[in-house]
Structure 1
Amino acid sequence: MIVVGVDAGGTSTRALAWDDTVRVVVGVGRSGPGNPNSSGHDLARLNVLRAALDAAGGRADEVTRLAVTMAGGSATGGALDGLAAAAAAAGLGCPIDIEPDLLGAWFSGCSEEQGVVLIAGTGAVAATIVGGRINRLVDGAGWLLGDDGAGFWIGRRAVHDVLAAIDGRGPDTALTDLVLARTPQLASHRDRPGDPRRVALIEHCYGLRPVQLAGFAPLVVQSVGDPVADRILADAADLIESTARAALVGVHESSPVVLAGSVAGLDSVIRDRLVSLLGDRARLASDGVVGATMVALRAAGRPADEATRVAMGVPPERVQGQP
């Protein structure tokens, strides 16, 4: 029997087909953005289906389960408009499950059924896992109301502190030159009072989608040693640690904690703080498409143990000392 897992992301979609009879990877597929929240249902459906069919190759009629993991999967009502009908028309007439990317991240990092998964990338969210299902969420409230300490939070804080430095409201910082180097200069500042750097930066940032401020976050890591950058990272670490601690309440102390996302994996005080908190309980999420395929196996009622996860191409090492 063959199952297919699809990791539907905001910029790209990847799929993996697994033959559970002979326990080998049948194929992998890749396509464009597959998240309906950012790309719309039509484009997302097209790319999810394209990646899945690419992975299955000429064996689409043998696929018995398809699982799709995506950010906000639970918010879509467990469906991607028109996917089932389009899949059936293309030869994929199997049951389809749509799950949050948190579950895919969890099963990409371990095969156990109890613990905590923490994603800290552009946003930040943690979840407790009970019986292989998401039981409770912490944060993940989005850039306006939450995602504390994540990429958007760090990037916005960087721009805020640069503006404060330009105004004289805050200390000088090495971030100023780095942030301004990413800021297109205005053709004319005529009739615009104030420092032209300030005017250009404000206008540029208000022209972005708010979440795009996360693009400034790597500059903060690049500026380690600068007191302002160090303070931003320390404050972000406090917030992410707080999210992790809240998620750990009531969870057995031996249960694993899977860490995912660019911020959680940063070689910085954030990662150091998480490792100090978690010790050898920490696991790094590997490839989200492996997690999605593990979800598909579980939905099909097939074993999805550690040996299976490793056979899909995941190194068996645990995270010890540091991710």
Structure 2
Amino acid sequence: MVTSSFGAKNFIGIDGGGTKTLCILGDQNGRILAEGRGESSSVKSRSWEEVKRVLLSLIHEVLVRSGTDASSLGGVFLGLAGSDRPEDRKRIVDWLQTELPEGVTITVHNDAVTALAAGTWGQRGIVLISGTGSIAYGFDPATGEFVRVGGWGYLLGDEGSGFDLGQKALMAVMQEYDGRGESTALTKLVLERWELQHPGQLINTIYGQENVRTAIADGSKLVLQAAAAGDSVAVKLVEEAIKELEKLVQTATAQLMSKLSVGLSENNEVLGLEIPLVLTGGLFSDQLFEQLFRETPTMQSGAFEIRLLERPPVVGAYLLALQEQDVELTEVMKQQITAFEFKT
């Protein structure tokens, strides 16, 4: 949902996730002038009043820190977790229109878009996120076409995510304890992690966690550790996770290219085009996991230009704010953005 604006010089990018929100203000020449950090602004996990408070305070903070005022704004781009539905986006745009000067371009999208734009410098591509949850998101800023695959949360999906790996690791431990599963090094690692004497104590420990989802997702690190040491159960779990992520990319690619009328081979590979694929999330920070994913048939097909995300997703929000005003991104601007040292 967008409103129009012309002739202003500064732009705000906001990346709002499930745990924190980052905000930057920069000018039309690629100079980032201020940054700020706040609490989560997810429209699905926070109240509307909390979301408004966080967003407005961050906008005010970067204006103050940059020594500018709202009258200098040309646009604000917000990538917010949970803002997939048009009605959610419209609600935020309508509200911000009452808080900002008339004519400021306001755009709201899913936070996966900002991660993608940060990895592709605002160009078309696909982002694959495998952190606590998992999602593949394809977006073409030139046409506004986008697709999402996965990202349905730990109860309905999130295959190949940290939670998925962590949960399956705990299940493997309990199955071994019951005598109905293979012996695995995960048992020793899990017991040491939680300082327990035997797996039977896990039920109270896990269900007693303040944030069960995060606690279980943290167990994915143990799976990667065991897999690196050659544990067969852990290796199998990692291989299954990677196959699920491969499916996310295959499906997102087919759907996006179909919307853009780009040809695909019988195996859903892009014909005559190497599409940027941005990898991000905690699991891809593990070298073994990243390498195994790169070795999958889909990644070896030559259809993708694989990139690890090297810039904060909030940079993508800023870039998309510039794009909304048809500001052309130059190499000098890229260098200035890259040189900025983020403190948050």
Question: TM-score with structure 1 length normalisation?
Answer: 0.83
Q: 1:220-274, CA deviations, whole angstroms, 9 ceiling, x for partnerless residues?
A: 1122222222221111112112222222334453121111212233212344323
Distance 1:95 1:114 in 2: 21
- CA distance in 2: counterparts of 1:9 and 1:56, whole angstroms: 21
Give the distance between the partners of 2:221 and 2:145, measured in 1 at CA.
30
Q: Deviations over 1:95-126 (max 9, x none)?
A: 42211112101110013543322111111111
SS in 2 for 1:39: coil
2:204 alignment partner in structure 1: 203
Cα offset for 1:307?
5.0
Distance 1:233 1:82, change over 3 A: closer
Once the two structures are superposed, what CA deviation does each residue of 1:132-171 show, in whole Å capped at 9, x if it has no partner? 4342222222212222111111010011011112112112
- Among residues 127, 136, 139, which one is paired with 1:129 in the alignment? 139
Extract unaligned runs of 5+ from structure 2.
Answer: 1-8, 255-263, 265-269
Contact 1:102–1:127, Cα closer than 8 Å, also in 2: yes
State the alpha-carbon separation in 2 of the partners of residues 284 and 123 from structure 1.
Answer: 17
Contact 1:155–1:216 (CA under 8 A) maintained in structure 2: yes
The answer to whether structure 1 residue 140 and structure 2 residue 164 are counterparts is no
> Which of 220, 223, 230 is the matching residue for 1:220?
223
Q: Which residue of 1 aligns with 2:234?
A: 229
In 1, distance between residues paired with 2:125 and 2:98?
Answer: 36
Pairwise CA distance, 1:293:
0.6
* Amino acid aligned to 2:154: W
Counting only pairs closer than 5 Å after superposition, residues 129-208 of structure 1 correspond to structure 2 as 129-132=139-142, 133-183=144-194, 197-208=198-209
Of stretches 98-107 and 127-136 in structure 1, the one that deviates more from structure 2 is 127-136
Residue pair 2:130, 2:161 contacting (<8 A) in 1 also: yes
1:283 and 1:73 map into 2 onto residues whose CA distance is 25
Question: What is the aligned partner in structure 2 of residue 259 from structure 1?
Answer: 279
Partner of 1:9: 17
RMSD of equivalent CA atoms: 2.8
Instruction: Say whether 1:290 aligns with 2:315.
Output: yes
Q: Percent identity?
A: 27
Q: Which of 239, 248, 252 is matched with 1:243 structurally?
A: 248
Identify the match of residue 50 of structure 2 among 40, 43, 66.
43
CA distance, structure 1, for counterparts of residue 316 and residue 307 of structure 2: 13
Shift of 1:210: 5.1
TM-score by length of 2: 0.78
Equivalent of residue 38 in structure 2, options 4, 20, 31: 31
Unaligned stretches of 5+ residues in structure 1: 186-195, 316-323
In structure 2, C-alpha distance between the alignment counterparts of 1:234 and 1:255, rounded to whole Å: 24
Shift of residue 82, structure 1, vs aligned partner = 6.5
Deviation at 1:178, TM superposition (A): 2.3
Report the counterpart of residue 190 of structure 1 in structure 2.
none
Decide whether aligned partners of structure 1 residues 271 and 262 sit closer, same or farther in structure 2, where only a CA change above 3 A counts: farther
1:304, 1:256 → 2: CA distance?
Answer: 18
> Structure 1's 211 and 203: CA in aligned 2 closer, same or farther, altered over 3 A?
same
Aligned length: 304
